[in-house]
Amino acid sequence: MNRPPAELYAERQQRLADAMAGRVPDRVPAPLFTADFFARYAGYTLAETTYDAAKLEHAVEKTVLDFEPDAFEQQHTRNLLGPQLDLIDYLPMEWPGGRVGDDDPYQYLDREIMRADEYRDFIADPSYFWLTRMIPRTAGRLGAFASFPNPLGLVYTGMALNIAAFGTLEMKQAMDLLHEAGKHALQTIARDRAFIQHMATQGFPVHRGGAMLCPFDLIVDFMRGAKGGMLDMMRRPDELLTAIDVVLENFNRRAIELFRTLPSKTVFIPLHWGIDGFMSPQQFSRFYWPQLRRLIQMTIDAGLTPMPFFEGNCTSRLEVIADVPPGTCTYQFEQTDLVRAREVFGTRICIRGGMPASMLIAGSPTEVEEQVRKLVATVGRDGAFILDGGGAGIPREARPANVKAMFDAIKVHGLY
């Protein structure tokens, strides 16, 4: 018998809320978390869902309705970015239909954008540094911002004279480009909100709001690059630590204020450099965990639920990262031993993941069902567990029959 969408919506919301709070829901929840599976499943190239809102929405809706997950993830604000990126000529990224093929995924380019000797300038005035150094170096058509006047100089007669940089043709062209890109961004945000409401009327909540980076990751990913970040831990640790605090108190705090206005109160925090294979335990305890712990607490204090995604393996860190308030966090894992994580956490922290990407791609529906049964019996037996693909959700190459088997199996074997 068909049930009212409003009833299904409330049931799914409660199921996820119970699991994330460390309680035992009616069954193990399984949201749809993916970067690009929906495009291939609906028969589109990634370029089409990067530039065409209608095709993106059709692909996501079809995927959700066919597999009936407990929630879906916002896709407009992470995939519908092509026009804006084209207009400003964004350099640290390649995107489908832009600098890579129509069916190639988004690519991050590791680059040293901020020099090692610029830490002091960034620390002294992070906003102005970003405006006049980072923007011109990362947006090929916004080079004029290197001469953007310092707002602190716009005082008294300075308001009339120090605005001279705005009179150049280069600055006008940059401002015009920003206006065009901004119009696309406004349309993307508006369609995203409308689509969330549309899916709610069909009984499906959205399960991820904003996304932000751990301070160390932001500096290494987007400012210093991998080589620079590794060297800075050895050569200029004090400046790196101060810069990490600047990021936490400026970038992260402002992001959290924005996330409080979004429909979903779950905040995704992908973690890149704090894994076992990169940092030693000593480095982790100095440059990474204390600041991540503060970020988690800031997110909790704002009434949000932090969902760090520990990419790679971090089994050796489990005892350290267990130090968070009970029932406040969801930890998503890629390769970490989930049984060991459950032993360490108990039900104080909700664990998310467990379905290997390799199994969704190359396994069989029977193997997928058995994996679901095993995960429920070992990791999810006392609640505080969300079933998901281990490698950043459902991979694009996953076999639809295996994805269906995962969602079908959890509805049978995930009951409490």
Report the distance separating Cα 141 and Cα 120, nearest Å: 27
pLDDT band at 39 (very low <50, low <70, confident <90, very high): very high
Q: How do residues 329-344 score in pLDDT, each as one tens digit?
A: 999 999 999 999 999 9
Query: By CB neighbour count within 10 A (0-12 exposed, 13-18 middle, 19+ buried), where does 148 fall?
Result: middle
Q: Name the nearest CA neighbour of 255 among 217, 302, 291.
A: 302
Average pLDDT, the chain: 95
Asked if residue 392 has pLDDT above 80, the reply is no
Instruction: State how far the alpha carbon of 246 is from the alpha carbons of 243, 251, 291, 320, in Å.
Output: 5, 8, 11, 24
Average pLDDT score over residue span 95-114: 95
pLDDT of 156: 84
Residue 144 CB contacts under 8 Å (≥ 6 apart), including other chains = 136, 165, 168, 170, 171, 173, 174
Tokens of 289: 């965990």
pLDDT band at 153 (very low <50, low <70, confident <90, very high): confident
Average pLDDT score over residue span 235-256: 97
Supply the DSSP string of 220-269, one letter for each residue: IIIIIHHHHHHHHHHH-HHHHHHHHHHHIIIIIHHHHHHHTTSS--EEEE
Neighbours of 40 (CB within 10 A): 19
Confirm whether pTM is higher than 0.75: yes
Asked if residue 130 has pLDDT above 60, the reply is yes
pLDDT band at 1 (very low <50, low <70, confident <90, very high): low
pLDDT of 275: 87
Q: How far apart are the first and last CA of the chain?
A: 22
Average pLDDT score over residue span 207-213: 89
- With a pLDDT cut of 70, the percent of the chain lying above it is 100
Report the distance separating Cα 400 and Cα 369, nearest Å: 14
Report the distance separating Cα 226 and Cα 241, nearest Å: 16
Amino acid identity of 257? E
pLDDT of 12: 98
pLDDT band at 100 (very low <50, low <70, confident <90, very high): very high
Helix axes 169-200, 53-67, angle to 10 degrees: 30
CB distance 52 to 184 below 8 Å = no
Q: Name the nearest CA neighbour of 136 among 176, 81, 183, 88.
A: 88
Neighbours of 225 (CB within 10 A): 19
Average pLDDT score over residue span 400-413: 98
Q: Give the DSSP H or E segment for 389.
A: strand 385-389
pLDDT of 32: 95
Asked if residue 299 has pLDDT above 70, the reply is yes
Residue 1 CB contacts under 8 Å (≥ 6 apart), including other chains = none
pLDDT band at 390 (very low <50, low <70, confident <90, very high): confident
Instruction: State how far the alpha carbon of 120 is from the alpha carbons of 44, 220, 241, in Å.
Output: 47, 16, 12
CB distance 96 to 45 below 8 Å = yes
Pairing of strands 266-271, 107-108: unpaired
Convert 52-85 to b/e letters by CB count within 10 Å (16 or more is b): bbebbbbbbbebbeebbbbbbbbbbbebbbbbbb
CB distance 211 to 269 below 8 Å = yes
